[in-house]
Structure 1
Amino acid sequence: MDLEHKFCRFDDEVKIVEGTGIEGYASLFGACDQGGDVVTKGAYARSLQKLTGDGRAVKMLWQHDPAQPIGIWDEVREDERGLYVKGRLLESVEKGREAAALIEAGAIDGLSIGYRTLKATKNDKGQRLLTELELWEVSLVTFPMLPSARVASKGDDLSEDVAMRELADVLEDMRRNLAGG
């Protein structure tokens, strides 16, 4: 099995806190991404438990490059909505400083998870339902695959941003359907 990536924009889901701290959602349960995949609740549970038991952590990378760690995820957990992450960009790492500046400027707005699919099924819509994943890393990326998980600036109301993003996604899907593609 090869390592797969799942991208999420993070304007709505992740926010910068005090310059280098970031928190939010790297993956949302039940949301279909642009590749036709849907992560189900509990898909990360066994992997997170194993990482903790082994004394290891999910890595924070720049653009999925294992040679470019840019920070530390202090907290990675599942909740009712999805995969919540909280961490900090390392100011002592050049790419960490660059990432913080790019996020603040709005030039980078994506998160992506690096994982291996352990269990998946297909639903009646032809979507792949990911029921068990081995999570390796969460990266800051330029081009995300799941539009509803993004970074917001400090002080933004994430719940309102999420609702607006979800509404925009529904309207965009309707527009595409009406346009025939």
Structure 2
Amino acid sequence: MPTPLATSGAMTRAEGGYFAGYASVFGRIDKGRDIVVKGAFARSIVERGARGIKVLWQHDPREPIGVLEEIREDDYGLFVRARLLHDVRRASEARALLQAAAVDGLSIGYKTIAADTDERTGVRQLKDVDLWEVSLVTFPMQEAARVVQFKSADGWADIARRLRQFEWGMSELAARARHRSSTAPYFKVTDTRRFQ
């Protein structure tokens, strides 16, 4: 399922940078053998609101880097939009890493309130969680939990598009390498519509 690109909510302050993405994706098994069910975050969103849920660097409670501007569930997962704080050193570093697409993972910190575990597979379905924080991380527990947009003073950067361009470049290099090692004709890929 492709990641929906959320477009609601205009950004007006760019001095610290903003990012938007999915901190959790519904219906997918993560590396800890958990699946989050739609509705699992509903209570936390109502009770805490965006400002009651912290934005951290790599789950470290000593490293807050921003504030949530928006948090909501949609059919895909838990969508978040956050503002990085300009005067926080780690937030400035996070902004630079986001701009370079060196870090794009998102992860959540929570306490399980209600869950069912399949005894045969060991997979746990999270039905209600007490959400404490959203973190920018290098390696997300849930592979699909990613930043999909980043805004700095230079404007929005579509990280997904940058990754597609990188993948295209690597496939182009692989095609050239195959051509050099065989007698097959080489055709350069020129269709860039996939990057739009």
Q: Normalised by the size of structure 1, how large is the TM-score?
A: 0.72
State which drifts further: 79-88 or 142-151. 142-151
1:93: which partner in 2?
A: 88
Q: Which has the higher strand share?
A: 1
**Alignment gaps of 5+ in structure 1:** 1-11, 165-181
Separation (CA, whole Å) in 2 of partners of 1:152 and 1:76: 14
Residues paired across the two proteins, number: 147
1:64 counterpart (59, 68, 86): 59
Deviation of 1:71 after TM superposition, in Å, equals 0.6
State which drifts further: 104-113 or 135-144. 104-113
Instruction: Work out whether 1:140 is the aligned partner of 2:140.
Output: no
Query: 1:108-159: CA deviations, max 9, x gaps?
Result: 121110000011101353210000000000011122111112224613567x
Q: Given the superposition, is the C-alpha separation of residues 50 and 61 from structure 1 closer, same or farther in structure 2, using an over 3 Å criterion? A: same
Separation (CA, whole Å) in 2 of partners of 1:86 and 1:96: 15
Contact 2:147/2:159 (CA < 8 Å) preserved in 1? no
Letter of the structure 2 residue corresponding to residue 87 of structure 1: A
Contact 2:101/2:159 (CA < 8 Å) preserved in 1? no
Question: What fraction of aligned residue pairs are identical, expressed as a percent?
Answer: 49
Deviation of 1:79 after TM superposition, in Å, equals 1.3
Deviation of 1:13 after TM superposition, in Å, equals 7.6
Contact 2:51/2:67 (CA < 8 Å) preserved in 1? no
Separation (CA, whole Å) in 1 of partners of 2:76 and 2:143: 15
SS in 2 for 1:148: coil
Question: What does 1:89-128 align with in structure 2 at a 5 Å threshold?
Answer: 89-123=84-118, 125-128=121-124
Deviation of 1:73 after TM superposition, in Å, equals 0.7
SS in 2 for 1:25: strand
Question: What does 1:17-56 align with in structure 2 at a 5 Å threshold?
Answer: 20-52=17-49, 56=51
User: 4+ residue runs of structure 1 moved beyond 3 angstroms?
Assistant: 12-15, 155-158
Letter of the structure 1 residue corresponding to residue 31 of structure 2: Q
1:150: which partner in 2?
A: 146
SS in 1 for 2:97: helix
Contact 1:14/1:151 (CA < 8 Å) preserved in 2? no
Larger radius of gyration: 2
CA RMSD, Structure 1 to Structure 2 (Å):
2.8
Deviation of 1:56 after TM superposition, in Å, equals 5.0
State which drifts further: 116-125 or 29-38. 116-125
Separation (CA, whole Å) in 2 of partners of 1:35 and 1:122: 12
Separation (CA, whole Å) in 2 of partners of 1:66 and 1:93: 14
Separation (CA, whole Å) in 2 of partners of 1:28 and 1:22: 17
Q: Normalised by the size of structure 2, how large is the TM-score?
A: 0.66
Letter of the structure 1 residue corresponding to residue 30 of structure 2: D
Separation (CA, whole Å) in 1 of partners of 2:148 and 2:41: 24
State which drifts further: 55-64 or 136-145. 55-64
